[in-house]
Amino acid sequence: MAEQQIADAVTGGGQSDKGPSEWGQALAALVVVGGLAALLLSGTFQQKSSDPEPAMCDATDDARPSKPVSGAQLCTALNRTDLPTLLGTPTESAMNASGNESASTWADGTKSVTPEAEVQLATYSVKLSTSDDDIAVADMAAFLGSTAQARTIGGHPAVLYSDRTIALKFTFGGSGKVDTGPGGIARSLLVAKDIKDGGGFYEVAIWRQDDVVPDDVALLRVAETVLPTVPGWTVG
């Protein structure tokens, strides 16, 4: 998510180099337009009590040998049997789980791929992504607003901040109209790839289907438990 938004912002600037001013524009774009899509489909995603097992990972474009980790691997790490317990909803189970990889192009022609995974439960949705860009988490924190909070996850520098989801409302029938509007609050955690914060980050985000503000403790539990299982994670 973050990598695509940064790439779009830099491309819009029409510059050939990723200089300091472009990084600032990119990170501002991350805050302004970094909404996560929350699909409100009239109960389509409501969990049924008769569902025998939680959803398995549905992965697409998961074979990219040049990437240290794929969307499928992120989905495997995120879609844990104890994820509902980590979120504080132990009686629920995953209804949808997927991994994919989105491609973006910088203004100078450089292409990048962002692996990401998402798991949806009745109460929460959780998203995990990773970026190999050379932006330090400490540099990003300054652009995430005054409410951003410094954290440490497994010895890795991190920053906790809020984002807003985008609600998509589908009108079924003749018109097939899709309306968009502000959704609920998502809480996101950016975690540096290494303990020295030399560039690159993981991002874990959670949001609720009922638009209630998510529990930060739940987000931190998920990050502290899931990230060490992602291929390439370094011990602090």
Q: What total number of domains does the chain contain?
A: 1
H helix runs in the chain, sequence order: 2-13, 20-32, 71-78, 83-86, 137-141, 216-226
Is 122 among the domain residues? yes
Measured CA to CA, the distance from residue 26 to residue 9 in angstroms comes to 5
Backbone phi, then psi, for 160, in 5-degree steps?
Answer: -105, 130
Is 117 among the domain residues? yes
Is 166 among the domain residues? yes
Q: Give 150 or 111, the one with higher predicted confidence.
A: 150
Measured CA to CA, the distance from residue 158 to residue 215 in angstroms comes to 17
Is 110 among the domain residues? yes
Tens-digit pLDDT profile for residues 161-193: 987 655 545 555 555 565 554 457 899 999 999
Measured CA to CA, the distance from residue 76 to residue 56 in angstroms comes to 9
H helix runs in 52-125, sequence order: 71-78, 83-86
Tens-digit pLDDT profile for residues 112-153: 788 999 999 999 999 999 988 888 999 888 888 788 999 999
Is 120 among the domain residues? yes
Backbone phi, then psi, for 142, in 5-degree steps?
Answer: -65, -20
Is 159 among the domain residues? yes
Tens-digit pLDDT profile for residues 29-45: 333 333 444 333 322 33
For the cut 70, the answer to whether the pLDDT of residue 226 exceeds it is yes
Residue range(s) defining the domain that contains residue 120: 36-46+54-229
Measured CA to CA, the distance from residue 223 to residue 103 in angstroms comes to 24
Is 168 among the domain residues? yes
3-class state of residue 186 by DSSP: strand
